[in-house]
Amino acid sequence: MNRSELRAEIARKGISNRAVAGELNISEQAFYNKMSGASEFKESEIKKLIQILELSAADVDRIFLSENVN
């Protein structure tokens, strides 16, 4: 997973981390832990992120299937 690309996509969409956490039904701290790599996103959370951010198939590949790890 390419977390820096995910961060960039969230910023491009102009959505706050608080709003994303709310949409995922997790605390802001849990969201920060997932974004820092301290914990992993669940499959259901990734699916919700794809919807929230309106990601294309190419975006999904670039962000979630990337060989680059942070």
Q: Structural domains in the chain?
A: 3-63 (1.10.260.40)
User: What pLDDT does residue 66 have?
Assistant: 73
What token pair was written down for 69?
């790890």
What pTM did the predictor assign?
Answer: 0.87
Angle at 69 between CA 55 and CA 36, to 5 degrees: 80
Q: Return all residues near 68 (Cβ < 8 A) that are at least 6 apart.
A: 2
User: What pLDDT does residue 54 have?
Assistant: 97
User: What pLDDT does residue 67 have?
Assistant: 67
Residue 18 pLDDT exceeds 60: yes
User: What pLDDT does residue 8 have?
Assistant: 96
